[in-house]
Amino acid sequence: MALPAALRARLRIPLIAAPMFLVSGPALVKAACRAGVIGSFPTANCRTVAELDHWLAEMADDLKRAADETDRAPAPLCPNLIVHRSNPRVADDLAAVLKAGVELVITSVGSPEPVLKPLKDAGCLVFADVASVRHAEKAMAAGVDGLVLLTAGAGGQTGWVNPFAFVRAVRSFWDGIVVIAGGMADGHAIAAAETLGCDLAYMGTKFIATRESLAKDEYKQMLVNSRLDDVLLTRAFTGLKTNMLRPSIAAAGLDPDNLPARGAIDIAKDINAAERDKPDTKRWKDIWSAGHSVSGVADVPSVAELVERTAAEYEATKSVATKASV
């Protein structure tokens, strides 16, 4: 199953503004969808299910207005359900997403199987984050529509596999939708990902450094000032492999080269509102993630400006490729 033609027609470029914990909010999602790229967000960014209902309604209303204003359907929004067994809100968040009638859902940090049937019955396309060939095979067997390949370059939760090898390995047995996540620094990379066999690309780090993101101004400026060598792969903060910014770790009073090991994954603690509000909580609030594309962050534009630039790069690369093939 390739990307449905009706969906591709609504996209300026084949891109998803990646779901980012405590960063992706309604303003970013709405701006991305209006600009012609899929806007996604983790449902865990909402402190309560009531807030999730409000976000979904607000975004749906805005996208309807956009369609009325332009006489063209904007790109769809895409909630991200964290399906790890330690997340106590999975069932309630799923119910909110189903009630909102969304077109796309991304599942992450666990098997999509528990939420797959109700989403598919509702006519929703379901993409699953996978970090290995074994994960991809399991998600395929469960019946997902798309695989999001977490490669070594992804910010936050990441994978370990080279993107070239990962895409080709998955394409050897999977003809469904493939999304590449990790190191997508510009439109040239997106065009290259298409050539490799991908239908869509994730871009996260550059969307953190937009005016609409929920990230602190200091975080955005750190991305502008950082380069690839400032990205550290560690399990110290989530129990999962994550790419984090060395300068933020040091600024929090920790030694990036001597970090304590973290125990088992506990999504409940990560999304608990009371934990987030503790004044001494540094994880996520003061220690920040970035992907390998951080060297491409040069300023803090609006989402519309970022998409326009990225589209120009993508179209220029596609044009050169077309001329070369003639």
List, in order of start, the domains of the chain with CATH numbers.
5-214+294-325 (3.20.20.70)
Q: Sort 110 into a burial class: Cβ within 10 Å, 0-12 / 13-18 / 19+.
A: buried
Q: Distance (Å, rounded) from C-alpha 13 to C-alpha 36?
A: 7
The pLDDT of residue 265 is above 70: no
Q: Which two tokens stand for residue 191?
A: 């065009």
Question: In percent, how much of the chain has pLDDT > 70?
Answer: 91
Dihedral over alpha carbons 24, 28, 34, 36 (to 10 degrees): -50
26 within 8 A of 51, measured Cβ to Cβ: no
Q: Which residues are paired to 147 by β-bridges?
A: 128, 178
Q: Distance (Å, rounded) from C-alpha 104 to C-alpha 56?
A: 13
Instruction: Return the pLDDT at 105.
Output: 97
pLDDT, tens only, 94-128:
999 999 999 999 999 889 999 999 999 999 999 99
* Strand residues in the chain grouped as ranges (E): 15-17, 38-42, 77-82, 104-108, 125-130, 146-150, 156-157, 177-181, 200-203, 231-234, 242-245
Q: Which two tokens stand for residue 228?
A: 């690839």
Q: Which two tokens stand for residue 185?
A: 């620094």
CA angle 224, 226, 231 (to 5 degrees): 135
The pLDDT of residue 313 is above 80: yes
Q: Distance (Å, rounded) from C-alpha 5 to C-alpha 294?
A: 32
The pLDDT of residue 323 is above 90: no
The pLDDT of residue 41 is above 60: yes
- What is the distance of C-alpha 27 from the center of its chain? 15
Which of these, 143, 118, 173, lies nearest to 127 by C-alpha position?
A: 143
pTM of this structure: 0.91
The pLDDT of residue 269 is above 70: no
DSSP secondary structure letters along 180-222: EES---SHHHHHHHHHHT-SEEEE-HHHHTSTTSSS-HHHHHH
**CA distances, 40 to each of 18, 103, 134 (Å):** 6, 12, 25
**DSSP SS3 for 226:** coil
The pLDDT of residue 280 is above 50: no
Instruction: Return the pLDDT at 240.
Output: 80
Dihedral over alpha carbons 80, 83, 86, 87 (to 10 degrees): 40
pLDDT, tens only, 196-222:
999 999 999 999 999 999 999 999 999
Instruction: Return the pLDDT at 241.
Output: 85
The mean predicted confidence, pLDDT, of the chain is 91
Instruction: Return the pLDDT at 283.
Output: 55
Instruction: Return the pLDDT at 284.
Output: 56
170 within 8 A of 297, measured Cβ to Cβ: no
Predicted confidence band at 281 (pLDDT cuts at 50, 70, 90)? very low
Amino acid (1-letter code) at residue 11: L
